[in-house]
Amino acid sequence: MDIIKKQNIIISNPETKDFLADAFYPKTNERLPLVIFVHGYKGYKDWGAWNLMAEKFAEAGFFFVKFNFSHNGTTLEEPHNFADLEAFGNNNYSKELSDLGVIIDHFIKDPKVDDQKVILIGHSRGGGISIIKTSEDERINGLITLASVDTLERFPKNKDLQKWREKGVFYVLNGRTRQQMPHYYQFYEDFEKNALRFDVERAAEMAKAHFLIIHGTQDESVSVKNAEHLHILNPNSELFLIENANHTFGAKEPWDEDHLSADLHTLTEKCIDFMKRKM
Predicted pLDDT of residue 74: 98
Residues pairing with 65 in the sheet: 23, 36
Predicted pLDDT of residue 116: 98
Helix (H) or strand (E) holding 145: strand 142-146
Q: Domain holding 67: CATH number?
A: 3.40.50.1820
Domain count, the chain: 1
Question: Does 196 map to a domain?
Answer: no
Question: Does 190 map to a domain?
Answer: no
Residue 240 pLDDT exceeds 90: yes
Question: What does each C-alpha distance from 151 to 78, 102, 142, 148 come to in angstroms?
Answer: 30, 23, 20, 9
**Residue 219's domain spans which residues?**
3-153+201-278
Count the neighbouring beta carbons within 10 Å of the beta carbon of residue 244: 9
Predicted pLDDT of residue 89: 98
Q: How far apart (Å, rounded) are the C-alpha atoms in residues 103 and 225? A: 30
Contact criterion met (CB below 8 Å) for 71 and 142: no
Of 129, 150, 126, 112, the C-alpha closest to 232 is 150
Predicted pLDDT of residue 86: 98
What pLDDT, in 10s, does the model give residues 13-25?
Answer: 999 999 999 999 9
Predicted pLDDT of residue 1: 81
Residue 47 pLDDT exceeds 90: yes
pLDDT band at 58 (very low <50, low <70, confident <90, very high): very high
Count the neighbouring beta carbons within 10 Å of the beta carbon of residue 238: 16
Q: How far apart (Å, rounded) are the C-alpha atoms in residues 78 and 89? A: 17
pLDDT band at 209 (very low <50, low <70, confident <90, very high): very high
Name the percent of the chain lying above pLDDT 90.
Answer: 99
Predicted pLDDT of residue 175: 94
The mean pLDDT value for 22-30 works out to 98
Q: How far apart (Å, rounded) are the C-alpha atoms in residues 105 and 139? A: 10
Question: Does 69 map to a domain?
Answer: yes
pLDDT band at 191 (very low <50, low <70, confident <90, very high): very high
Contact criterion met (CB below 8 Å) for 146 and 279: no
Name the percent of the chain lying above pLDDT 70.
Answer: 100
Question: Does 42 map to a domain?
Answer: yes
Question: Does 177 map to a domain?
Answer: no
What pLDDT, in 10s, does the model give residues 141-161?
Answer: 999 999 999 999 999 999 999
Question: Does 219 map to a domain?
Answer: yes
Predicted pLDDT of residue 221: 98
What pLDDT, in 10s, does the model give residues 112-147?
Answer: 999 999 999 999 999 999 999 999 999 999 999 999
Question: Does 166 map to a domain?
Answer: no
Question: Does 63 map to a domain?
Answer: yes
Q: How far apart (Å, rounded) are the C-alpha atoms in residues 157 and 26? A: 48
Edge to edge, what strands does the sheet with 19-26 contain?
Answer: 3-11, 19-26, 63-67, 32-38, 113-123, 142-146, 210-216, 238-242
